[in-house]
Amino acid sequence: NVAKSQVGYQEANSASGHGGTTLGSKNYTEYGRWYGLDGEYWCAMFVSWCAHVAGISTSVVKYHSYTETQLSFFKNLGRAYSWSTVKNNGYDPQPGDIIFFLSSSGASSGRSTNHIGIVTGFIIFYFTVQNLIVFVEELKSLWNYMEQESGFFAILLKVSGIAYICEFSTGI
């Protein structure tokens, strides 16, 4: 899978760090270079790049740098499910689906979404002791798969809201 092959890739501080091994914070990535907007927020370009490398047509996944545009594309195709639909069993996210997030800063600016990613697994849990133990065990499992530092999970767990899940189970 294309996205899985990128686990561990790191953004750089300049275009000279495109190898993905030098930790930076200035948004320089192979995905931005491919799209033509290197040094910009790259989450949407990463999803677009994955679809491109996997040979997925732009009629199936819109290649774009802006999450709002990608979400509108999926909504127009009838393949975007709101979080309320998902949590009420209207749709079960699958690995390979595209997920849109909305942080509190995005919500306060009137946006529908301000971050995008690819679903690798999906867990809904309730706050009981038994299920919390299962959830922690699942996090440990994800930890081994993602090979990321603890900051990744801290950020993942602090995201204030899932905006939409877009049906797109494939090999990206």
Q: Would you give the DSSP letter of residue 81? A: E
**CA atoms of 141 and 135, how far apart (whole Å):** 10
Phi, then psi, of 74 in degrees rounded to 5: -70, -35
What does each C-alpha distance from 5 to 54, 145, 146 come to in angstroms?
Answer: 12, 12, 11
CA angle at 61 for the pair 55 and 67, rounded to the nearest 5°? 130
Q: Going residue by residue through the chain (172 aa), what tens digit of pLDDT does each one get?
A: 788 888 888 888 888 877 777 777 889 999 999 999 999 999 999 999 999 999 988 998 999 999 999 989 998 988 888 877 776 767 777 778 888 887 767 677 888 888 888 877 665 544 444 555 555 666 566 555 555 444 444 444 433 344 455 554 444 4
**CA atoms of 83 and 71, how far apart (whole Å):** 13
Q: For 154-170, write each residue's pLDDT tens digit.
A: 444 433 344 455 554 44
Q: Would you give the DSSP letter of residue 12? A: B
**CA atoms of 95 and 169, how far apart (whole Å):** 6
**CA atoms of 136 and 131, how far apart (whole Å):** 9
**CA atoms of 166 and 74, how far apart (whole Å):** 7
pLDDT of residue 126: 42
pTM, 2 dp: 0.72
